[in-house]
Structure formats: structure tokens, C-alpha cells
Amino acid sequence: MEKTALFPGSFDPFTVGHEDIVRRGLNLFDKIYIAIGYNTNKKNFFPVNQRIKWIQSVFSDDPRIEVITYEGLTVEIAKERGTSFILRGIRTAADFEYERAIAQVNKAMSGIDTVFLLTSPEHTPVNSSIVRD
């Protein structure tokens, strides 16, 4: 049975920290869907088509990665794709508290577990806002 995970986010832009989580996640999963979520409450900096191209170019050498887009609940796209897990990166204790609450709701709604990977120390200060700035 193939172990698959969904790595959701806005990825505006996709950072070296995101790449690190995905590459390390491939040690745990057979396939990872990088899912670019559309949030009407957020103003995007980069167009979604550009983000897709950038991410695809980063992983062009690995067929185990598929870049998709979605709107709505993360658990719905995870179920639609048949993924068993949601993959998330954790940089700080504040990230953990936020992600834990979401993971518990997602588990209650869908039965899908969330797997957390700690960010590599050298990538901890990197986030999309800093990269955009």
C-alpha cells in the first residue's frame, strides 16, 4: 500500500524551508502532493501559476512529487487524493500550538493524521514573509 501525504500551504513563495520538509518527507512517504491552497482572505504576492512552475522546477527530478491547487478544506482535498497523512513543518513553539489545534480538528473531521517535521536549524528563521520582503 502506497503511503501518501498532502503538504498544504499558500507557498507564496515556496522557500528552502518548504523544500527541506518535502525532501525529508520523502523518507517517510512514497508520494507527496504539494497542495497550493486558495484563500480568498489572503492577498497573493505571486500568481498561483508562477508558484506552480517554481515548485515543479525544484522537484523536476522526482516523480514522487505532484503539485496541485485546491480551494476549501484541506481535509477534503486530502480525502479526494486518497492521502493518509497531512505533512507540516514546525519552526517554533508558536507554530506547534497553531498546527496542533488544526491537526486535532482535521483528525476529528476526517480521521487523517498530521505528521510534523521540525525545520532544520539553518532554515528556522526563513519564512515566506521574510523572503517576500
Catalytic residue ranges: 18, 42, 91, 128
83 burial class (0-12, 13-18, 19+ CB within 10 angstroms)? buried
Rounded to whole angstroms, the Cα distance separating 81 from 67 reads 12
Nearest to 56 by CA among 70, 46, 64, 66: 66
